[in-house]
Amino acid sequence: MGSHNTNDEQIEKLFMKIDYSATGRIQWHDFCTYMYLEYAEQDEASARLKEIAFSLPTTIKQIPHGEPVLRICSLSDSTLITAREDGTISFWSPELKLKRSRMVFDKTHKKSKWLMDVTVMTPYNKLIIGTGDRELQLYENSNFEPYLQISGLEAIPLNVEYCYTDHDECMILYGDDEGCVNILLLCSVGEILRTWKKLPKLENLPNISLQNAALSPNVTYIRWKVHGDWITQLNYYDSIKAVISSSSHEPTALVIGCVVGATNVEQQMKELKEHRKDSKTRKVQSVLGTPSHRAEGDQIVFRVHKGVRAFALSKKNNLIITGGMDRIIRMWNPYMTGRPTGMLRGHMAPIFYVHISEEDKIFSVSTDNTVKIWDVEDQTCLFTTCAKNNGIKGEISACHYVSGTRLLCLATDTLAVLHLRSRLPSDPYMVISHKKPVLCCKFNKVFRHVVSCSEDSVVKVWDFESGKPLFEFGKAHGSSAITCLTFDSSGRRLITGGRDGCLKIWNYNSGQCLKTLKREDRSEEVCDCTYVEVNKNKYIIGVGWDRRINLFYVSSETRAETNCVNSQFCIHIATLHFLSLLV
């Protein structure tokens, strides 16, 4: 019975909301109009809540002319690290103030060395640099002093990634120009680094070949042949315990694969239990031989038109986004390769960078320096800034989003930082109901609602018991502020007055404007209004800066007026109810 009564109450309230004139009956078109307007306004209100933008103008820092910046990464304190192709590593504050900079490559040797990528070995305070000479070089993070290098790699490391997996255990991964994913699994990392540090130097760096590194205790080297072209991006995600890599090769544009491979787990465990007896021969063969292919069940392969240049994963949303040469951002379920779950179109140039934030927003950057923000849920574009208004010039070479400070850093001929505009109030304990000052509010005892109006012409409806927002509609009086409001005797219609000189009658539960009342000769700001009934006749009374009392007959919209007493304007007319006694 309780459920039945609740349903009856809900239906009765819905009927009252639609029957704004209190006639006791509604027609089908009334119901359809109400439902359409309510849900349309709810969509607009939801879009307003999702408003997000980067603050302009962009913060731009001129950098010395030289080789392009190939990589931007950040530390836990939001310090930015930039790496240029010639080996110049620079540390910057989030405000783009240079902290320190140094060319890490030894220039005493005639042979030029090129930096391909860099990443941070966080717990050990090291930088890992991949070079064009098929080397992985480690430098001290604090003073750029050379630490050691691993030479003799099978191919050029184009993308370098580091992951801390457990106490004193880690992974160093790199994708190369042959489409292979290379993985170094290290245990007892501190001991290994100290041992390798004592090795003979080559070009001022303690050196160990990849072959000897793979033969070292507590080191496992794995090389998977994954793509048919060089790798454009590579990341390890601990949340799914998998490596994701991309390339421009359409049949293998994006691959999600395991680290070790289910087929090799038992063999790896057996080798460890036998203290790696007779394992050296197998390791040498794995290093020097052709790369292995993962079993079909050990990887998920996505075919994407024109390949993938950039990707990002959101474990919370079970979502992977990709972007590439065809200028389309695709949204994928990680386990459904057949077709994307969504496609975001809007960029006019190839996609260079994508990122999914914790607030479920997608940031995308294209090669024409256009930056867009998308909503994951609605799959709509929320913000766009192009090179003309963000001031970013030149060919983009690196991009990075810093979650801690909510900034997007881009590198071209300059360094540019876009700060995400915060919607949070300065006081975290202050609840803000409107974006602009609230000028009037009133309690509706029929529906037990509180209706508030603000200077930016927004009407909001709140539940009196819970304080939760129920409905809102904007631009009620265009761009003019709403200065006053009242209800009719049934409580179903809202009357508002504004600085545009208009009085408007609303079905406030749907945002439908029923009538607009306005003087024909001139329009001055309405300061207050009220609703009265006299001998079954219904009137709306408004006063304002025109120094008149304006009476509007509700049914025929005709108006009778009388001059105010010698006052320059009228502010409150609560005392004007005496008119009902005079008639």
Per-residue pLDDT, 284 = 45
Per-residue pLDDT, 261 = 73
CA distance 552 to 547: 16
**Mind listing the pLDDT tens digit for each residue in 547-570?**
888 888 886 443 434 434 333 444
Per-residue pLDDT, 51 = 77
Alpha carbons within 13 angstroms on the beta-carbon side of residue 42 total: 10
**Mind listing the pLDDT tens digit for each residue in 416-457?**
999 998 654 445 555 678 888 999 999 999 888 999 999 999
* Total count of domains within the chain: 1
Per-residue pLDDT, 512 = 86
In the block, which residue shows the tokens 């005639």?
110
Give the H/E segment covering residue 563: strand 559-563
Per-residue pLDDT, 135 = 94
pLDDT band at 88 (very low <50, low <70, confident <90, very high): very high
426 or 475, which is more confident:
475
199: pLDDT strictly greater than 70: yes
In the chain, count of helices (H) and strands (E)?
Answer: 8, 42
Radius of gyration of the chain (CA): 34
- CA distance readout (Å), 209 to 112, 151, 204, 284, 572: 20, 5, 15, 12, 88
293 or 284, which is more confident:
293
At 485, give phi and psi (nearest 5°). -155, 160
Whether the CB-CB separation of 253 and 246 falls below 8 Å is answered with: yes
262: pLDDT strictly greater than 80: no
Q: Residue 405 is which amino acid?
A: T
pTM: 0.70
CA distance 213 to 208: 6
359: pLDDT strictly greater than 90: no
**Mind listing the pLDDT tens digit for each residue in 61-81?**
999 888 999 999 999 888 999
Preceding omega of 57 cis (within 30 degrees of 0): yes
In the block, which residue shows the tokens 């197998």?
282
- Tell me what the mean pLDDT of segment 45-65 comes to: 82
pLDDT band at 22 (very low <50, low <70, confident <90, very high): confident
152 or 34, which is more confident:
152
Per-residue pLDDT, 45 = 65
5: pLDDT strictly greater than 70: no
- CA distance readout (Å), 456 to 16, 42, 434: 29, 18, 9
pLDDT band at 6 (very low <50, low <70, confident <90, very high): low
With respect to residue 485, please indicate whether it lies within any of the assigned structural domains.
Answer: yes
With respect to residue 344, please indicate whether it lies within any of the assigned structural domains.
Answer: no
Lowest mean pLDDT, pick from 300-314, 317-331, 554-568: 554-568
165-179: b (≥16 Cβ within 10 Å) or e: beebebbbbbbbebb
CA-wise closest residue to 81 among 66, 102, 64, 62: 102
Per-residue pLDDT, 217 = 87
- Tell me what the mean pLDDT of segment 205-209 comes to: 92
pLDDT band at 576 (very low <50, low <70, confident <90, very high): very low
In this structure, the number of other CB atoms found within 10 A of the CB of residue 495 comes to 25
Helices of type H across 131-188? none
- Tell me what the mean pLDDT of segment 93-102 comes to: 92
Q: At 334, list the tokens.
A: 């990680």
Per-residue pLDDT, 573 = 45
At 71, give phi and psi (nearest 5°). -150, 140
- CA distance readout (Å), 390 to 36, 55, 81, 278, 373: 38, 9, 22, 61, 14
CA distance 413 to 520: 60
Per-residue pLDDT, 559 = 40
Mean pLDDT of the chain: 84
Q: What is the DSSP string of 39-72?
A: HHHHHHHHHHHT---B-SSPEEEE--SSSPEEEE
Q: Strand, coil or helix: what is 193?
A: helix
Q: At 518, list the tokens.
A: 């306005």
Per-residue pLDDT, 357 = 92
Residue 321: which residues within 8 A CB-CB, separation 6 or more? 311, 312, 314, 329, 330, 331, 332, 354, 356, 362
533: pLDDT strictly greater than 80: yes
In this structure, the number of other CB atoms found within 10 A of the CB of residue 24 comes to 7
Per-residue pLDDT, 25 = 80
Per-residue pLDDT, 579 = 44
CATH of the domain at 511: 2.130.10.10
Q: At 423, list the tokens.
A: 């919607």
Residue 452 lies in domain: 433-582
Can you state the percent helix, strand and coil of the chain, rounding each to 5?
15, 40, 40
240: pLDDT strictly greater than 60: yes
Give the H/E segment covering residue 273: helix 265-273
CA-wise closest residue to 548 among 522, 582, 583, 574: 522
